[in-house]
Structure 1
């Protein structure tokens, strides 16, 4: 009798402990959630896109009348594609927020964010935005609309990653290409503005120009410091986008094994790296 009671007590305890362990299921996807959160909050890209859009505003005071006409034409082209560039970033952020929610994070209510999705993109040969980027954007918006409109029912992290990875990789490739475009445009701006000082200051040798030269040198140093900071942000943004692509690829390669210790460790490392990059982007 005592033996029978002991066995029953053991089984009850085992079931109780097993039940406690099972309630922690979402915890096994903690690293997925943290990686998705870090990816959604990476930042930097939107700021750099706005800087690209506003290039002419910074260049205009330094331009000759002839150069100003060409710069205004380029300004119109940049502003025409800006909303498309931002739409890609918004879509990627919404995807990562949705992935975080599916991994067990209940901090987001994304139903209203459907309105953030654009109606479509336009291919742009000058920016490098290609038809495959347009197709991926369309596929991603359809996936997000379907998942969010369903109230996240009958969905899983594995399904989301499997269905979304191909488009995620293409859209991240688009964001990387666009960031390189921003970087190149900023380099041209830097050469234009700093180049004026490099040419003019050495020839301003009259005593009457001394105060003006001093002010010009101070302005030059301030602009050079500004560009140095921005250059670093371009580098960090590119690193961050690459980390997001690699982390998502690892999840796609390990579907069904996302709670595996090695996969969790890899995702934790990517999440940590993204948070470090984000801190760098938000600082000076």
Structure 2
């Protein structure tokens, strides 16, 4: 009898130690992953800057000479031809992050209607910087999203989503960063065109009869100058945000089997926090 009691006590001790170990390790917390994915999906700036890039000609046209206007209209047609592709890139990245957030959370909602927003595909374009590898990454990510969302997220986890999607999401984020730099270059050219007129003409407007026009011109110049300074800041913030998303996802991929570690959760939380600060500064 005593031997039985000893054996029972030993068994209870083993169970207690086992449960204690489980309680200590606990389930993997994915709250940090969900917060990072949410912040990545809600990061603003790129859509607004894409719209601004498309409408460059409308802003610069009043300041163009007839000869410059012809070239500007040709450039306007090229920008409008690639605009839909640029927007499709963003929608794909956003949908991926929304799907990742859903897998990391407790809620379940249907993202199937969003699949229709992805479009029919992209076109490689030397001027825009979109290359065949970006097109391939887009196709790979859309296939992954279609498969995961259409299946109701069955047999899918954060780990498999990040592992399967990392290479493609990195390629698309790289493309978006390159495109944002194209936006910056286009904006610099516009700024030189618009402000350049005032820089050239104002010094020669010295007649008293021109005083009112000169005053109005200076006010307009100051307004446009401030506008461009604000836009320049938004480009920088958008680049910072896209870079943070890429780095954060890279860290997720590198630590897929260590998501329960406190240092990993803290690192991912910092990326999410940084993205929220950037979003707040963008005003989105």
TM-score, normalisation: structure 1: 0.91
Q: What secondary structure, in the 3-state scheme, does the structure 1 residue paired with 2:258 have? A: coil
Alignment RMSD:
2.4
Q: What's 2:77 paired with?
A: 76
Q: What's 2:153 paired with?
A: 152
- Count of residue pairs brought into register by the alignment: 280
Q: What's 2:190 paired with?
A: 189
Structure 1 runs (4+) deviating above 6 angstroms are 6-22
Q: What's 1:231 paired with?
A: 232
- Report if the CA contact (8 A) 2:50-2:87 is conserved: yes
- Report if the CA contact (8 A) 1:97-1:108 is conserved: no
Q: What's 1:176 paired with?
A: 177
| Gap change, CA 1:250 and 1:16, over 3 Å in 2 | closer
Q: What secondary structure, in the 3-state scheme, does the structure 2 residue paired with 1:256 have? A: helix
Distance across 1 between alignment mates of 2:141 and 2:102: 17
- Report if the CA contact (8 A) 1:194-1:224 is conserved: yes
Distance across 1 between alignment mates of 2:60 and 2:125: 24
Distance across 2 between alignment mates of 1:132 and 1:16: 49
- Report if the CA contact (8 A) 2:125-2:131 is conserved: yes
- Report if the CA contact (8 A) 1:33-1:105 is conserved: no
> 1:282 offset after TM fit, Å?
1.1
Distance across 2 between alignment mates of 1:116 and 1:15: 49
> 1:259 offset after TM fit, Å?
1.8
- Report if the CA contact (8 A) 2:137-2:168 is conserved: yes
| Residues 75-154 of structure 1 aligned to structure 2 (within 5 Å) | 75-106=76-107, 108-154=109-155
Q: Which runs of 5+ in 2 are unaligned?
A: none
> 1:93 offset after TM fit, Å?
0.1
| Residues 187-226 of structure 1 aligned to structure 2 (within 5 Å) | 187-226=188-227
Q: What's 2:50 paired with?
A: 49
Distance across 2 between alignment mates of 1:69 and 1:105: 56
Distance across 2 between alignment mates of 1:14 and 1:225: 66
> 1:15 offset after TM fit, Å?
10
TM-score, normalisation: structure 2: 0.91
Distance across 1 between alignment mates of 2:156 and 2:172: 22
Query: After alignment, is 10-19 or 245-254 more displaced?
Result: 10-19
Q: What secondary structure, in the 3-state scheme, does the structure 1 residue paired with 2:122 have? A: coil
| Gap change, CA 1:124 and 1:153, over 3 Å in 2 | same
- Report if the CA contact (8 A) 2:27-2:260 is conserved: no
Distance across 2 between alignment mates of 1:226 and 1:172: 27
Q: Deviations over 1:243-277 (max 9, x none)?
A: 00000000101112112111101100000000000
- Report if the CA contact (8 A) 2:47-2:87 is conserved: yes
Q: Which runs of 5+ in 1 are unaligned?
A: none
> 1:21 offset after TM fit, Å?
8.9
Distance across 2 between alignment mates of 1:46 and 1:21: 44
Distance across 2 between alignment mates of 1:130 and 1:7: 65
Query: After alignment, is 157-166 or 98-107 more displaced?
Result: 98-107
Q: What secondary structure, in the 3-state scheme, does the structure 2 residue paired with 1:274 have? A: helix
Q: Deviations over 1:21-64 (max 9, x none)?
A: 99x847x1000000000000001001001100000000001111
